[in-house]
Structure 1
Amino acid sequence: MLQGFRDFIMKGNVVDLAVAVVIGAAFSSVVNAMVKNVLMPFIAGLVGSPNFDEFARWNFNGNMVEFGVLLTAVVNFLLIAAAIYFVIVMPMNKLIALRDRKLGIGKQTEEAPVDPQVALLTEIRDSLKVRS
């Protein structure tokens, strides 16, 4: 029983996932700091407020409907996604493309495998064209 548990824990996927979670947790503070201290002040300069919490509030039968809070969460999500894309993903893709070019690795186009029946029919068609 313990041997099976040890084998499960030591699988590459579980270890990779654990490392990814730890790195993700550490990286989230970097992204949050960038959004909070760089991007949100920029948005506040454009809009006049660092969030939209007060933007749309309605009193509906004694209950407060706060659409602005949802809008703030959506904007924060989009800012975090943009920060990750432009600061991490784009430069990494460029580095990978540069490395691949340096190593001579290119996108190789593979010909789609031809169905034997299609190949035979094409050959028959071509031979019939020659006879006519």
Structure 2
Amino acid sequence: MSGFKKFLMRGNVIELAVAVVIGAAFTSIVNSFVEDLLTPLISAFGGLPDFKGLTLTVGESVFRYGEFINALISFIIVATVVYFLVVSPYERLSARFRRAEVITTRECPECRSEVPKAATRCAFCTIQLTPAD
């Protein structure tokens, strides 16, 4: 039981729970923005009162593709916000702190084996190597 308690009290679990709650709240705000403001604005140009009312009836089945359009617009807005406010800044920040890769080996010109950069003789074919820069 103490292992489970340690698991729940770790920072990652708490941060994840907070992120889920904030994400759900943000999603409801975006959905309201799309359904209440953006969709009526877009549909005003098309002459329709709202995308929600768009349906297609085939036999007894009713396809509510208007709600799908609302969901698609919401997804695009959420994905755009997440990319520009989370992913892009994180990539720039991590690139700033990423270390340049240090090259410690080189290729032997004779046998094409990997040898240490400071080596003066190849361990595989024993050819004399010129000093590395």
TM over 0.5: yes
In structure 2, the CA distance between the partners of 1:11 and 1:39, relative to structure 1 (3 Å rule), is same
Do the aligned partners of residues 17 and 91 (structure 1) sit closer, same or farther apart at CA in structure 2, a change above 3 Å counting?
Answer: closer
What is the root-mean-square deviation of aligned Cα atoms in Å?
3.6
1:51 correspondence with 2:48: no
Which of 62, 73, 82 aligns to 1:66? It is: 62
Q: CA deviation at 1:40?
A: 0.9
Q: Give the superposition deviation at 1:79.
A: 0.5
| Count of residue pairs brought into register by the alignment | 110
Pair 1:41–1:111, CA change in 2 (3 A): farther
Aligned to 2:72: 78
Measure the CA separation in 2 of the matches of 1:11 and 1:125: 52
- Tell me the amino acid that sits aligned with residue 11 of structure 1: R
CA distance in 2, matches of 1:74, 1:8: 39
Partners of 1:35 and 1:79 within 8 A in 2 = yes
TM-score, length of structure 1 as denominator length: 0.60
Preserved CA contact (<8 Å) 2:54 2:66: no
For 1:105, the equivalent position in structure 2 comes to: 96
| CA deviation after TM superposition for structure 1 residue 105, in Å | 2.5
Q: Looking at both structures, which has the greater relative contact order when contacts are Cα pairs under 8 Å and sequence separation is at least 6? A: 1
Unmatched runs of 5 consecutive residues or more in structure 1: 128-132
Counterpart of 1:124, as a letter, is: E
Q: State how far apart, in whole Å, the 2-side matches of 1:93 and 1:35 are.
A: 23
The structure with the greater share of residues assigned to helix is 1
CA distance, structure 2, for counterparts of residue 113 and residue 49 of structure 1? 67
SS in 2 for 1:66: strand
1:17/1:124 CA distance change after superposition, 3 Å = same
Larger Rg: 2
Query: Hey, what does 1:130 align to over in structure 2?
Result: none
Q: Aligned ranges for residues 112-127 of structure 1 at < 5 Å?
A: 119-120=107-108, 123-124=109-110
SS in 1 for 2:58: strand
